[in-house]
Amino acid sequence: MAKYHSEEEALKNYDTSKYRTPEGYTSDIAIFTLLPNEQYKAKDEKSSKYCLALMLIKRAGLDAEGEPNIEGNKWALPGGFTQIEGDKGSAFESAKRELLEETSIKGVHIKHFGVYDTFGRDKRGWIISNAHYAIVPEQHIQDRRAADDAAEVQLFTIDEVFKLDIAFDHRQIIEDAISSVKKDMQQTTVAKNFLPVEFKLEELRQVLLAVIDDNVVNTKSAFFRKAPSLDFIEEAKDAQGNPKVTEPTGKNKRPSKLYKFEEVEPVPSIWN
């Protein structure tokens, strides 16, 4: 005669302890934005006005009880433990919450790009990290830095970042995050997340120049010829169906056409 008479009873007696389970399950998030490029050369049409930057936090040297902190005084990606919230527990939700806490904004692009789970990556035990990147328009991060004390939150350009002392295996995660965001900028329309809904072609080109190295993007005339014919980009129209243009602002002396991204996501192919 069977010991249990239903799946439910068997379930209660299921022995998960046969396997070692992780001691922690976390989400880390690489928050990217664009900063003004110090090396911008107006004469070089491949030079961008922007520069890709990453937000890091400085780990406290001492913890709340005054004891030396693990990986203290090093720079790290913002992150935290994943909890089961509202009957769900997912690293993606956790990353969204973390982003909200760090930048006070919702609804920006966030993408999972890797899992870091080798035993030994964290001295505290077997701690698994889900790595994400987020793209945040510059203004939002500036707001956040002004509101905060900001000593322990800082933006670094990707050249600066590798000169820092980085905690845990976050150096590797940061390298992977940069590869991932570059790849996505080349192969998807993520660039839209750095831009307002309606943008000038030159703005879009500046954003792309800052991150990727692409023949068409590098050549101004090629980009302006090609971009309007891409089927994921269209002209912004006003209520009367007329093309929208900018008002001249700042040093900009002439109006320019506005464009927006279509909903469709292109799939580039190596075969054509």
Partner DNA sequence: AAAATAGTGTCTGTGAGACACTATGGA
Partner DNA sequence: TCCATAGTGTCTCACAGACACTATTTT
Strands 127-135 and 24-36: parallel
Residues 200-229 interacting with DNA (rule: CB under 7 A): 200-202, 215-216, 219-222, 224-226, 229
Q: Which does 221 bind (CB under 5 to 8 A by kind): a copy of itself, DNA, none?
A: DNA
Smallest separation, CB 253 to a copy of itself (Å): 28
Strands 75-76 and 50-58: antiparallel
Q: Does 89 bind a copy of itself (CB under 8 A)?
A: yes
Applying CB under 7 A, among 59, 145, 171, 257 the residue interacting with DNA is 257
Strands 24-36 and 79-81: antiparallel
CA distance 171 to 47: 27
Taking a C-beta distance cutoff of 8 angstroms, is the pair 77, 30 a contact?
yes
Q: Does 270 bind a copy of itself (CB under 8 A)?
A: yes
Q: Does 252 bind DNA (CB under 7 A)?
A: yes
Give me the 215-234 binding string for a copy of itself, x by CB under 8 A, dash otherwise. xxx-----x--x---x-x--
Residues 143-182 interacting with DNA (rule: CB under 7 A): none
Coil, helix or strand for 90? coil
Smallest separation, CB 221 to a copy of itself (Å): 14
- CA 42 to chain CA mean position, Å: 28
Beta strands in 136-171 (DSSP E): 153-157
